[in-house]
Structure 1
Amino acid sequence: MADSQRTSEPINSVHQDEIWKARVNAEKRSARDWPKKWGILTEAYEEYERESKKLNEEARRKLPQDPAAQPPTPVEEHIDVTPFPPFPKTSQGMIGWLVGHSALQQENFRMQRHGRRSLTKNLGWPRDACI
């Protein structure tokens, strides 16, 4: 669009036509040479499609014909469901009501205590080595 608005430079239509011909020839050449260079990709893709169809057919055979005929799997088989303690009757009882139950306790985030160890002491370095 910007090229068509320029009037100061003359347009060489023969040169533009040669550029277009070169592009078209490059496209034709690459289309002709593509199977030689990259044809293995089509073979791998066709093999993948065959395996995919075979696996889909096997999966369909394993599924029951009527999905409503199969009873749903109970949740207890997959998840450990423990009875939940009763909800407290007062707002004061809500503070820490789950702490007393070991199965419902959350993680404790407290300071980890480590012994007095020193890297320099373990490696036998002098104290001034890391200063």
Structure 2
Amino acid sequence: MAAPKQPGSGKEFNFVDQDQIWKVHVKIELESAKAWPNKWGFLTTSYKTQEQSHKLKEVVRLELPQHLKTRPPSPPDKYIQVGPSPPVPQTTQALIGWRSAVPELQLERYGKVKCGKKSLLKELGWAFDACI
């Protein structure tokens, strides 16, 4: 009698070999389960300490003084006012920089950025390579 064929393929199926493979897999799983606490058991202790710290935080609640408490955020409408935009230009050439032409919409609201002309190194009489 011919050996039975594995379903879905034309290969012969050996029950004894399959049983041996299954036994090896089960044996490896059992050995791994026994070795796991020695290799990775420290993870469970850190998880337990985290749980304990969360419980302690819930038990010990400190009330902050009034000057250290954060205030609820104020609504943005209170300090930001957005006005209407100017009309959109008709041509694409006029579209470039059309908002910067309006003084209220310019990014530099407080004037242009000015760089200092004095140097701390020059005032102290140090060489320019002193900071490098």
TM-score bracket for this pair, using the shorter chain length: 0.3 to 0.5
TM-score, normalised via structure 1 length: 0.47
Larger fraction in helix: 1
